[in-house]
Every structure is written in C-alpha cells, then in structure tokens.
Amino acid sequence: MSGRVKEYLQAHNVHPSMQRIVIMNYLLNNRTHPTVDMIYNDISKSMPTLSRTTVYNTLKVLVNNNAVLQLDIDEKEAHYDGYTHVHAHFRCLNCGKIIDLSPKYLDKLITNEIDDLLITETQLYYKGYCSDCKDLGKIPNINNK
C-alpha cells in the first residue's frame, strides 16, 4: 500500500524517505485540501518526532516536482492537494471548506448558484514565464529550487 506511494515519489524524482512517504500518503488519502498545520497535527499523532519544518520542506519538494498541488485560494495559509490534474476549486467564505468542482465547470465562468453553491467571486490565475524571461534560461530546474 505504501509501496504504491514510494513508487509515486520515485516517479516524480523524490527520494522516498519515511516522512515523505507518510506525508504523500496522507495527501493521497485525505482529499480535504489540508494546510501544513492540519497535516502536521494529524501525522504527528502517530509519528511524534515529526517536525513542522519537515512538513514544510517535504511539501516544497513535492510541489516543485509536481507530485502535489499548492492552492493559494486562502489568503491566510497554503492548502495542498495530492490530486495534481488541473481542476477548479471552491472555498466557502464562511466555513472555510475547500472542495473540488466537477470538471464540467472547468471551461466556463460560473456566476450565481451551481450545485447548491452560491458563487460570489471567481479568480483565474495563470503562471509561467513572460516573453522577457522565458528565453533567458531563467526557468529553474526541477529538484529543489
């Protein structure tokens, strides 16, 4: 079972340490878009030596290697998603819950209510390299960063 996770990490050029396997496994099995603190609190119950720094370090490595998605939908703190395919997210401004939106909404702007959600705000962000930067070898290598 965690053999699968180990392979997943290796496929993404991430050296599969104990901590990395546990954190990646957590993300694959908890599709709740957790924060660093949620991950840390949950995992340290069964792995009391784990440090917050390691959670930060690990998530950075995983994100840089496209094994995990970092969500900036919450201005306070980052959330993480083990499902890396492009998909839309919804965050409730009252309870904070973040959910995936069905792919059928991916290519359209949504206004008002859908699927029993009241949408009040839409943000569409693209990231990459602009014309000035993209040619100049300024694109970083993968591992670490």
The answer to whether residues 82 and 31 touch, using CB atoms and an 8 Å cutoff, is yes
Report which residue type is found at 93.
L
Question: Judged by CB under 8 A, which stretch of 2-10, 37-45, 50-58, 133-141 contacts a second copy?
Answer: 133-141
Q: Which option in a second copy, DNA, none does residue 18 bind, with CB closer than 5 to 8 A by kind?
A: DNA
- Report 3-62 residues binding a second copy (CB under 8 A): none
Check residue 100 for interaction with DNA (CB under 7 A): no
Question: Judged by CB under 7 A, which stretch of 25-33, 46-54, 93-101, 125-133 contacts DNA?
Answer: 46-54
Residue for token pair 């496994």: 25
Is the sign of the CA dihedral 60, 66, 68, 72 positive or negative? positive
Closest CA relative to residue 26, chosen from 13, 14, 38: 38
| Token duo for residue 121 | 């705000």
Site string for a second copy, 77-96 (x = CB under 8 A): -x-------xxxxxxxxxx-
In 10 A of CB 144, how many CB atoms?
A: 10
Q: How many CA atoms lie within 13 A of 110 on its CB side?
A: 22
Residues interacting with a second copy, by CB under 8 A? Answer: 70-75, 78, 86-95, 97, 99, 101, 106-110, 116-134, 138-139
Residues interacting with DNA, by CB under 7 A? Answer: 15, 17-20, 35-37, 49-54, 56-58, 60-61, 75-78, 144
